[in-house]
């Protein structure tokens, strides 16, 4: 209990530090950007925090996506995806009303029957959507006869989706990198995946003469529905022969050099 309190306090402190301004509405924060379940760890959670100055109403739901060759996620109707995690988990609560500064933990747990599922990686996105970012004003407007506003406004209902992944009796996927085409300052790399699980990592382009990163790190994810992706890289002409491309689970170049999942010389 004490640990949880300290964790939340630390999170809150960090949020205060990174908050760019004082919000005039409810502001949606999540404490995780990905959740993992396993056959051993059958429950996971994420905290929703309202760091705004007004009461917010948030809806929690599942969304399914498939990854396209270009890395863009395409929304699939819930229940259509072969490896959708949504029908295999329980979660609660599904709608929360949070006053400024309040938080709510959303728990996700595997259903008992889920263990009987065929081996594979199951995934869905947990989506938290802001239904109302100023509950006080909504109530005031409903009570007021004069609810006219100046001009036509189109309100954005904002949401965040994070992947929830359950690797059920599958081992980590293996990666390989190859140069599909290199022309002048542009190179096309093929990242291939072997195995049922997804690949989650970063592309590092390293100048072998200096040992330094030649380009900013690029995150690359391969969902289970893909077995390869073509990646376009813009590289400087002058040192193309000295470039090493590494795919690693680490975003830090120094760590990536020692923990490469795959690599290729350009």
Partner 1 sequence: MKKIYFLAISAMFSAACSQHVLAANPESVSVNVTFVDTVAIDEVNPLSFGLLDANMLNAETVVISPDDTLTDAQNNRLGGTAEAAEVTVTASAGQAITISIDNISSGTHYTLANPTCKYDTQSAGACTSQSQTSVATGALLIGMTLTRNSTSMTTGVDNGSFDVNVTYN
Footprint of partner 1 on this chain (CB under 8 A)? Answer: 3, 6-7, 10-11, 14-15, 18, 20, 23, 25, 27-34, 49, 51-52, 63, 65, 67, 70-75, 125, 127, 129, 133, 147-163, 202, 216-221, 223, 251
User: Count of CB atoms within 10 A of residue 191's CB?
Assistant: 25
> What count of Cα atoms within 13 Å lies in the side-chain half-sphere of residue 248?
18
d(CA 241, CA 182): 11
C-beta closer to partner 1: residue 88 or 229: 229
Give the C-alpha distances (Å, rounded to integers) separating 65 from 56, 222, 224: 27, 12, 11
Identify the residue whose tokens are 């309040």: 102
C-beta closer to partner 1: residue 16 or 112: 16
C-beta closer to partner 1: residue 213 or 242: 213
d(CA 44, CA 37): 7
C-beta closer to partner 1: residue 67 or 109: 67
Q: Residue 203 pairs with which residues in a beta bridge?
A: 218, 247
Instruction: Find the shortest distance in angstroms from Cβ 220 to partner 1.
Output: 7
C-beta closer to partner 1: residue 40 or 153: 153
Instruction: Find the shortest distance in angstroms from Cβ 57 to partner 1.
Output: 14
Q: Residue 200 pairs with which residues in a beta bridge?
A: 221
Instruction: Find the shortest distance in angstroms from Cβ 190 to partner 1.
Output: 18
Instruction: Find the shortest distance in angstroms from Cβ 17 to partner 1.
Output: 10
Instruction: Find the shortest distance in angstroms from Cβ 203 to partner 1.
Output: 11
Q: What is the largest CA-CA distance in the chain?
A: 72
């Amino acid at each position: 209990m004490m640990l949880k309190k300290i964790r939340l306090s630390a999170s809150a402190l960090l949020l205060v530090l990174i908050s760019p301004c004082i919000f005039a509405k409810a502001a949606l924060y999540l404490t995780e950007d990905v959740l993992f379940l396993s056959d051993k760890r059958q429950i996971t959670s994420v905290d929703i925090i309202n760091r705004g100055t007004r009461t917010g109403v948030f809806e929690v739901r599942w969304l399914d996506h498939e990854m396209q060759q270009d890395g863009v996620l395409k929304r699939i109707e819930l229940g259509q995806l072969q490896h959708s995690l949504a029908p295999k988990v329980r979660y609660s609560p599904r709608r929360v009303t949070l006053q400024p500064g309040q938080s709510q933990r959303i728990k996700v747990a595997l259903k008992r029957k889920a263990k009987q599922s065929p081996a594979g990686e199951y995934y869905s996105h947990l989506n938290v959507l802001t239904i109302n970012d100023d509950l006080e004003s909504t109530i005031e407007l409903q009570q007021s006869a004069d609810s006219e506003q100046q001009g036509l406004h189109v309100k954005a209902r904002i949401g965040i989706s994070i992947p929830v992944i359950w690797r059920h009796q599958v081992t980590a996927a293996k990666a390989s990198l190859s140069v599909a085409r290199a022309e002048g300052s542009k190179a096309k790399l093929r990242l291939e995946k072997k195995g049922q699980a997804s690949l989650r990592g970063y592309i590092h382009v390293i100048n072998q003469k200096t040992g330094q990163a030649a380009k900013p790190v690029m995150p690359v994810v391969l969902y289970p529905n893909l077995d390869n992706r073509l990646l376009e890289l813009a590289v400087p002409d002058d040192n193309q022969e000295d470039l090493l491309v590494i795919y690693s689970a680490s975003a830090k170049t120094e760590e990536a050099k020692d923990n490469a999942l795959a690599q290729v010389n350009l």
